[in-house]
Homo-oligomer: A and B are copies of this chain.
Amino acid sequence: MKTHFNINFLENATETLRAIAHPIRIAIIDMLNKNEKLSVSEIHEQLQIEQAVASHHLRILKNKNVVVVTREGKNSFYSLSSKDYYTIVEVLTNTL
């Protein structure tokens, strides 16, 4: 394939979009846009999903650097690594 983008950007962009592309993960990004940081418990309780499920999806987002984690005692607090990731969700609220 030949494009003015380098192939590396296209692959990173693909992986980031796939990381975001899941109903639970979009909902998490929305929650993290409204709250500076949230623990796994707060997320799984508010969304009413299993703890293991929340943790699983958070890991996928963390692996692609969409979110960052900081430990504080027993809790892991997750935050958006950039508000830009919410912009992606926001754009879709306009077009869909």
List B contacts of A10 (CB < 8 A). Answer: 23, 26-27
Q: State how many copies of this chain the complex holds.
A: 2
Q: For the complex formed, measure the closest distance between the CB of A64 and the CB atoms of chain B, giving whole angstroms.
A: 10
Q: How many chain A residues have a CB neighbour from B under 8 Å?
A: 41
Q: Is A89 an interface residue (CB 8 A)?
A: yes
Q: Is A52 an interface residue (CB 8 A)?
A: no
Residue from B5, B11, B26 within 8 A of A5 (CB atoms)? B26
Beta-carbon contact of B1 and A13 below 8 Å: no
Closest to A27 in B: B3
| CB pairs A–B below 8 angstroms (9 shown) | A2-B46, A3-B30, A14-B21, A16-B92, A17-B17, A17-B92, A18-B18, A85-B95, A87-B87
